[in-house]
């Protein structure tokens, strides 16, 4: 049978995030996060849904690890909830919080599943938000201390470390558009947050290099999306270039080139004046780049748009999020990042889709998700063939979970989570993905 074989040792995993799956938000000394505060604020999330219980992964993680093992996964990407380790963001360590992640890592190692640990997936301790949050540079220092604590506690058992998940979303959706926690609509604030998140990343990498685990590797995960002009018109091309600078290059350039991309004056002037040593810190070399890919952006010149850029509504094969299914974008993106930024290694740290999954007689037949993953894996395979040092793929997500402002209304999981009982039910895509992982090959 025709198949696409992946390199030996390729990582096959799934990804989750603490606030989206754990629940147990008051258990074992966990402090409040900005997402606890935001989700409990009326009008912020779908039907006021919160992560209070989520998938109850905090208690059910042994079962979830068992599902991963039965799927033949050799890796798992999860995030640590900062407020479990430091309920107030800094100060004395909450040992019970640390113990949960020690138990999780033990369970993963017991099933030969490599942990990939994300230090920050948006659940900032609320106590730090009350001191200015990411608008306060000190938060980046506390982040480095938090990172250092985890390096010491888990370093020799976690091979892959990610400092930040999607800093663009945390900065822009959280501080300019107000759609995510902490819910501000202040563009200059958002641009200060961009810079402070990058400084936090740099301090955490420096701490890792200084006395982190020797054999482990550290990187950052960015949401990257190819930007295409709606037409061949000059104005549309310029709009696409600006959108690319504001979304993709805003983080790629500082991290891999040590300088921000050229930006329109208004945007540029909102960024704090960065000193050479700050840009040096931000571009402390990383061992890998994590790429979260979901879809492409098509833009056009639009005088009414933000900075004259208009997003062209996605058409064609759309997911429940309204995102265009565009597998070619993964290939284009991986090739571009490889050729222009030369990361030592690349992981697809998230790729996946929400579809209108329905459970019938205990079965969930999700052919569109199987097609989505097969098409994106075929482009990932082609990118490897073109020389991209792609070392692994983490499907988003292991299970249906709290999809931020959409609550539980969007199902991305390979495992269907039954409302109420929270029972996990394998979707057909889970069985399909298990075959891929076990064969280290995609059937065509």
Ligand X SMILES: N=[N+]=NCCCCNC(=O)[C@@H]1[C@H]2[C@H](O)[C@@H](O)[C@H](O)[C@@H](CO)[C@@H]12
Which residues within the stretch 202-261 sit at the binding site for ligand X (CB under 6 A)?
223
Report the alpha-carbon distance of residue 84 to residue 154 in Å, rounded. Answer: 15
- We find the least distance from the C-beta atom of residue 40 to ligand X, in angstroms, to be 19
Contact range with ligand X by CB under 6 A, out of 4-12, 163-171, 194-202, 355-363: 163-171
Is the Cβ of residue 314 or residue 380 nearer to ligand X in the bound state? 314
Q: Which of 12, 208, 251, 294 binds ligand X (CB under 6 A)?
A: 294
Is the Cβ of residue 86 or residue 412 nearer to ligand X in the bound state? 412
- We find the least distance from the C-beta atom of residue 165 to ligand X, in angstroms, to be 5
Residue 292 binds ligand X (CB under 6 A): yes
Contact range with ligand X by CB under 6 A, out of 127-135, 162-170, 265-273, 340-348: 162-170
Q: Which of 64, 123, 135, 166 binds ligand X (CB under 6 A)?
A: 166
Report the alpha-carbon distance of residue 439 to residue 361 in Å, rounded. Answer: 29
Q: From residue 105, give the alpha-carbon distance in Å to each of 62, 83, 160, 187, 303.
A: 11, 18, 12, 39, 51
Residue 17 binds ligand X (CB under 6 A): yes
Residues facing residue 396 across a β-bridge: 15
Q: What is the DSSP letter of 172?
A: I
Residue with tokens 């006395």: 211
Residues in contact with ligand X, shown as a per-residue x/- string from 398 to 437 under the rule CB under 6 A: -----x--------x-------------------------
- We find the least distance from the C-beta atom of residue 402 to ligand X, in angstroms, to be 8
Residue 324 binds ligand X (CB under 6 A): no
Residue 19 binds ligand X (CB under 6 A): no
Closest-CA residue to 399 (of 28, 11, 63, 52): 63
- We find the least distance from the C-beta atom of residue 51 to ligand X, in angstroms, to be 11
Closest-CA residue to 19 (of 154, 142, 121): 121
How many CA atoms within 13 Å lie on the side-chain side of 86?
24
Provide CB contacts within 8 A for 432, sequence distance 6+.
370, 373, 374
- We find the least distance from the C-beta atom of residue 400 to ligand X, in angstroms, to be 11
Q: Which of 38, 142, 396, 432 binds ligand X (CB under 6 A)?
A: 396
Contact range with ligand X by CB under 6 A, out of 33-41, 46-54, 93-101, 161-169: 161-169
Is the Cβ of residue 217 or residue 295 nearer to ligand X in the bound state? 295
3-state DSSP call for residue 429? helix
Closest-CA residue to 242 (of 300, 178, 197, 313): 300
Which residues within the stretch 131-150 sit at the binding site for ligand X (CB under 6 A)?
none
Residue 22 binds ligand X (CB under 6 A): no
Backbone angles phi, psi at 345, to 5 degrees: -150, 155
Report the alpha-carbon distance of residue 77 to residue 65 in Å, rounded. Answer: 12
Residues facing residue 12 across a β-bridge: 393
- We find the least distance from the C-beta atom of residue 240 to ligand X, in angstroms, to be 16
Residue 165 binds ligand X (CB under 6 A): yes
Contact range with ligand X by CB under 6 A, out of 37-45, 164-172, 233-241, 380-388: 164-172
Q: From residue 175, give the alpha-carbon distance in Å to each of 194, 291, 335, 404, 442.
A: 10, 22, 31, 15, 40
Residue 357 binds ligand X (CB under 6 A): no
Provide CB contacts within 8 A for 382, sequence distance 6+.
331
- Six-digit token string for 171: 């900065």
- We find the least distance from the C-beta atom of residue 166 to ligand X, in angstroms, to be 5
For the annotated catalytic residues, the residue numbers are 166, 350
E strands, 286-414, where? 288-292, 297-306, 309-311, 346-351, 359-360, 363-364, 390-396
Q: Determine the size of the site formed for ligand X (CB under 6 A).
A: 12
- We find the least distance from the C-beta atom of residue 421 to ligand X, in angstroms, to be 22
Contact range with ligand X by CB under 6 A, out of 107-115, 141-149, 165-173, 230-238: 165-173
Contacts with ligand X by CB under 6 A lie at 17, 20, 165-166, 169, 223, 292, 294, 350, 396, 403, 412
């Amino acid at each position: 049978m025709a198949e696409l074989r992946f390199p030996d040792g390729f990582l096959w995993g799934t990804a989750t995030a603490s606030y989206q799956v754990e629940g147990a938000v008051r258990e074992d000394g966990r402090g409040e996060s900005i997402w606890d505060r935001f989700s409990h604020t009326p009008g912020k999330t779908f039907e006021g849904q919160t992560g209070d219980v989520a998938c109850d992964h905090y208690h059910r993680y042994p079962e979830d690890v068992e599902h991963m093992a039965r799927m033949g996964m050799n890796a798992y990407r999860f995030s640590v909830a900062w407020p479990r380790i430091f309920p107030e963001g800094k100060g004395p360590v909450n040992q019970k919080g640390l113990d949960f992640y020690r138990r999780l890592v033990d369970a993963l190692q017991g099933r030969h599943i490599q942990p990939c640990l994300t230090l920050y997936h948006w659940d900032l301790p609320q106590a730090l938000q009350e001191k200015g949050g990411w608008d306060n540079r000190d938060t980046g220092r506390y982040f480095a201390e938090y990172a250092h604590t985890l390096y010491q506690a888990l370093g020799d058992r976690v091979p892959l470390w990610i400092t930040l998940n999607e800093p663009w979303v945390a900065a822009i959706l959280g501080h300019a558009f107000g759609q995510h926690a902490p819910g501000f609509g202040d563009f200059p604030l958002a641009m200060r947050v961009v810079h402070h998140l990058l400084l936090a990343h740099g301090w955490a990498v420096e701490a890792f290099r200084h006395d982190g685990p020797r054999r482990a590797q550290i990187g950052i995960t960015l949401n990257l999306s190819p930007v295409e002009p709606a037409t061949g018109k000059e104005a549309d091309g310029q709009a696409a270039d600006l959108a690319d600078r504001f979304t993709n290059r805003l983080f790629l350039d500082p991290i891999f080139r040590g300088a921000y991309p050229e930006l329109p004056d208004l945007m540029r002037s909102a960024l704090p004046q960065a000193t050479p040593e700050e840009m040096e810190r931000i571009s402390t070399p990383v061992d890998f780049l994590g790429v979260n890919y979901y879809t492409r952006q098509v833009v056009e010149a639009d005088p009414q748009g933000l900075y004259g850029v208009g997003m062209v509504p996605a058409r064609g094969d759309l997911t429940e999020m309204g995102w265009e299914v565009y597998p070619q974008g993964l290939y284009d993106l991986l090739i571009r990042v490889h050729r222009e930024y030369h990361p030592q290694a690349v992981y697809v740290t998230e790729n996946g889709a929400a579809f209108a999954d329905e459970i019938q007689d205990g079965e969930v037949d999700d052919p569109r998700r199987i097609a989505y993953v097969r098409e994106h894996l075929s482009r990932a395979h082609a990118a490897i063939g073109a020389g991209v040092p792609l070392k692994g793929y983490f499907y988003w997500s292991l299970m249906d979970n709290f999809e931020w402002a959409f609550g539980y209304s969007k199902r991305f999981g390979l495992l269907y989570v039954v409302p109420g009982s929270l029972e996990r039910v394998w979707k057909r895509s889970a069985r399909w993905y298990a075959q891929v992982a076990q064969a280290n090959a995609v059937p065509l």
